[in-house]
Structure 1
Amino acid sequence: MQKSILLLLFLFFGNYIIPASFQSPQQTNQLILKVKVIGVKDGDTVEVLYYQLPIVIRLEHIDAPEKKQAFGTVSKQKLSDLCFGKNVTIISTGKKGNYDGRGRMIAEIFVNEKTNANKEMVKAGLAWHYKKYSKSDEYAQLENIARKNRVGLWADKSVVAPWDFRR
């Protein structure tokens, strides 16, 4: 809670207290941070370190299998392989104040200029396009290709979406 308050102060006071590597382009309403991934909680949630401030990031546009669900550990491992211990760029579009109901920042993670970890999870068939919260045609197309090619969890005959598994 205290860490979230600090981050909110950073956001409100902008140029007065934000380090130079923090960027928030006014015209695109994006929050861009250079961070280090210090933990992977599951296939769609990581913990990053922004200077000395740990921030939990929920990957935007996707929903991955739960830990106790089929492919849950495989999904977590894939995300770990993609970004754990690496310096990455996170970009949050500013929708819903950049946070979900659990206080996690919602963002896309870029391992480098060419690798979007969120998209890689869907391409690998280890996450769904989370249509309830994302209208992205690109993510929908990536999921359709993975389904068609029976990649990752799509190779399973009885796939259960995480939102159904949580019920």
Structure 2
Amino acid sequence: MANRKRRSGSGIAVSLLMLGFAVYFAFFRNAPTNSSPEKERLEKPVKAKKAKKEKEPLRYLTVFEGKVIGIKDGDTFEILYDSIPEKVRLAEIDCPEKSQAFGKNARQYASDLCFGKTVTVTSTGKRDRYGRVVGTIVTQDGINVNEELVKAGFAWHYKQYSKSKTLDAIEQQARDKKLGLWADKNPEAPWEWRKERRRK
């Protein structure tokens, strides 16, 4: 009798164990497992890095003809030459900055002289630290823009970079006649103005 009870008890235990395996295989074995965050990170598509656009080397320019398409301020022009815009900084002179007294007047005067016109730029081939061609601009009707700005009192002769006696004389005439910025009692030179802004 005791043997029968033992056999039926062990039979129930085996049945329960088999039932447990059957449930496990039916519901859990083929269930999708959550992928680990590490795996997910690996599976994300990697974005290709954009190749950096290389700057084209600046052209060596001495004498060239082009159309004035922009005037940043009195002494900085944009000239279209050979379908490529070139920034030109007028040599030997310095106009007031845009936010300085007479800065807008200088820009307007320069614009009236040559905006939209074909001009000739003469340079030594030198560029300044901003990559601008440093040169003299002459219009087709023979107006030297550098000299005209000084003559009208909208530019200084930039003596730090020029020993021109012609520009010296032209500036002195504008001072004597109190033209443009020389109408002010104490006009501030643009190089001094820039130095002051850098300090601040």
- What TM-score do the two structures reach when normalised by structure 1? 0.81
Corresponding letter in the other structure for 2:116: G
Query: Deviation of residue 118 (structure 1)?
Result: 0.4
Residue 154 of structure 2 is matched in structure 1 by 126
Alignment of 1:43-54 (within 5 A): 43-54=74-85
1:165 to 2:193 alignment: yes
Counterpart residue identity of residue 36, structure 1: K
2:132 to 104, 114, 128: 104
Out of 177, 181, 195, the residue aligned to residue 153 of structure 1 is 181
Deviation at 1:157, TM superposition (A): 1.1
Identity of aligned residues (%): 50
CA distance, structure 2, for counterparts of residue 112 and residue 127 of structure 1: 22
**Structure with larger RCO (C-alpha < 8 A, sep 6+):** 1
Matched residues in 1 for 2:109 and 2:90: separation?
Answer: 14
Matched residues in 2 for 1:154 and 1:38: separation? 29
Give yes or no for contact 2:94–2:158 (8 Å, CA) kept in 1. Answer: yes
Query: For 1:73 and 1:84, how far apart are their aligned partners in 2?
Result: 15
Q: What is aligned with 2:14?
A: none
Instruction: Tell me how far 1:98 sits from its aligned partner.
Output: 1.4
> 1:1-167, aligned counterparts within 5 Å?
2-3=55-56, 5=57, 7-8=59-60, 31-92=62-123, 94=124, 97-167=125-195
**Structure 2: how far apart are the matches of 1:148 and 1:109?**
26
TM-score (norm 2): 0.68
Task: Give the aligned residue type for 1:140.
Answer: D
Higher share in helix: 2
Q: Any unmatched runs of 5+ in structure 2?
A: 1-53, 196-200
- Could you list the per-position Cα deviations for residues 61-91 of structure 1 after superposition, in whole angstroms to 9, with x for gaps in the alignment? 1000000000000000000101110000011
Calculate the aligned-residue CA RMSD, in Å: 1.4
1:114 counterpart letter in structure 2 = G
Q: Segments of 4+ in structure 1 off by > 6 A?
A: none
Q: Distance in 2 between matches of 1:129 and 1:51?
A: 31
Q: CA offsets, 1:20-78, max 9 Å, x none?
A: xxxxxxxxxxx210110000000100000001111000001100000000000000000
SS in 1 for 2:59: helix
